[in-house]
Amino acid sequence: MTEPAPGGDRGPRPDFPGTRSQTLDRGIRVLEILHEAGAPMTIAGLAGELKVHRSIIYRILRTLEDHRLVGRTGEGSYELGLGLPVLARGVSPGLQSAALPAMSLLANETGKTAFLVVPSGGEAITLLSVEPRQSVAHIAYAPGMRHPLEQGAPGMALLSAWPPRQGERPEVARAREQGWAYSRSEVLPGMSSVAAPITSTAGPAAVSVVYLEAPALTPEERAELGLRVRAAAREIMLDLP
């Protein structure tokens, strides 16, 4: 029997004609495009990205706006709406509530942005992020960011929470042994990340920090940061419902 893939994805599902909603798919793509753009976009710009007529995008945007999933700027462009964070708070609320105090302390003590990731299929999805209160410069890492599980410290930390798999990266085995993972320039160019796994009955998660490594940390400094992130993961596990 084939093992389920990490994140609970059991492989391809039967594809039956007419089982998907094209309109819903386009609406979700609009939200993804706005997120990836990181700035307001015009109807024409969104239509160009989706390669559909502007009238189709207009109808989708009006519907998303009614549900506060997008908002209109003063110039008439569209951006992600205030309804999205409300929906996001409903995803794994027990995990988010348990993680927030430890992540806030981690961010403020290290001066680095802390974030919480969970697996979904073959990706690591950012669920929650906390920026340090007092820091000359830090990285903004918004909820909803995603990257392949095989890339970056958060993904490797998630993979380390599962039993060893054939062909896994040596860094995953190292993370499983020491309790934290490190990566540089694998998700964001020039950015480094340290992450530690969180295990619970609901499934794995990972807490991480991201930072610009300039100047580079010494091996001792990196190990110290790894142990601090691992301690935050343990604090979160103690507070889980």
CA distance 93 to 135: 28
d(CA 106, CA 134): 12
Question: How long, in residues, is the chain?
Answer: 241
Reading the chain (241 residues) residue by residue, the pLDDT tens digits are 334 445 444 344 445 556 778 888 898 889 889 878 878 899 999 999 999 999 999 999 999 988 888 888 888 899 888 676 566 655 567 888 899 999 999 999 999 999 999 998 888 988 888 999 876 555 666 677 888 999 999 999 999 999 999 999 999 999 999 999 999 999 888 899 999 999 988 889 999 999 988 788 999 999 999 999 999 999 999 988 7
CATH of 22-86, one of 1.20.810.10, 3.40.50.410, 3.40.630.30, 1.10.10.10: 1.10.10.10
Q: Which CATH class is domain 89-239?
A: alpha beta
Identify the pLDDT of residue 51.
93
Within the chain, all domains assigned CATH 1.10.10.10 are found at: 22-86
What was the pLDDT predicted at 210?
92
- Do the strands 113-120 and 78-80 form a parallel or antiparallel pair, or are they unpaired? unpaired
